[in-house]
Amino acid sequence: MQKLNKEWFASVELAVGLPKMPLTRYGVVKKAKREGWKSRKRQGRGGGLEYHISSLPHVTQEYLSGKREKPLGGARAQLFIADHWRNYILMNKFCEDYNDGLLDIQDWVKEAIPSISVTDLVKFVRFYEVYIGPV
């Protein structure tokens, strides 16, 4: 991450999977109140508060100031799981719809591959990425 020349952050900017930070705006606001973070009224539309970097957890400060290249394991793991959960749900829905004939699929495709599973779909995508290019 590049260094940010910024000292004040809105809750929405902090609720993005940073180390030692909640993943929701509401969670950030609650943590800020509970821990007594230094704050000021946010300028512009929407109002709300901004929080000074010096009030944030030390590892969050390091990440925001560019001293840490990546979020710590916990935050990265949460983001990884959330992303894969979303992809899994989408893949399951696609497979169900494909198998139930709800998708507009050409007949020759359905004849070649009458039904698919998530495992099949993952294999297709990996094959395509390896031999053709990124999906």
Terminal Cα-to-Cα distance of the chain (whole angstroms): 25
- pTM greater than 0.85 (yes/no): no
pLDDT digits 0-9 by tens, 25-47: 888 999 999 999 999 998 877 77
Domains and CATH numbers, the chain: 8-70 (1.10.10.10), 74-131 (no CATH)
Using only the alpha carbons of the chain, give its radius of gyration. 22
Of 31 and 85, more confident: 31
